[in-house]
Amino acid sequence: MSVRNFCRKGIFMSRVCEICKKKTVAGNQIETRGLAKWKGGVGKKITGKTKRKFKPNIQKVKALIDNKTVKRIKVCTRCISAGKVIKAL
């Protein structure tokens, strides 16, 4: 069985926060040349754009679910620092 079939069947976990559903998004990396206008130049010129991915900082955390069961979940660091996750001891 190929890796592609494993992914379709849901065996591999994706890089998604289980609380806020934050996931990998696509964007551009922009290369510029020139001096900014406020520094006395003629402005920044875009010389290239390349596709890239912005990945969330996902951590595996043992958390209390419904204040009774302990489960290991994938959570982004923003949710951890905001206190949306109750860590199990």
At 7-65, the pLDDT tens digits run 555 555 689 999 999 999 999 999 999 999 999 999 999 999 999 999 999 999 999 98
| Cα-based distances in Å from 56 to 18, 26, 52, 81, 84 | 12, 12, 13, 14, 16
| Residue at 6 is within a domain | no
How far apart are the C-alpha atoms of 87 and 75, rounded to whole Å? 11
Q: Is the pTM of this model over 0.75?
A: no
Range(s) of the domain holding residue 64: 14-81
Q: What is the CATH number for 55?
A: 2.20.150.30
pLDDT at 76 over 50: yes
Structural domains counted in the chain:
1
Neighbours of 78 (CB within 10 A): 14
Categorize the per-residue pLDDT at 1 as very low, low, confident or very high, splitting at 50, 70 and 90. Answer: very low
Tell me, what's the pLDDT at 67?
Answer: 84
| Residue at 50 is within a domain | yes
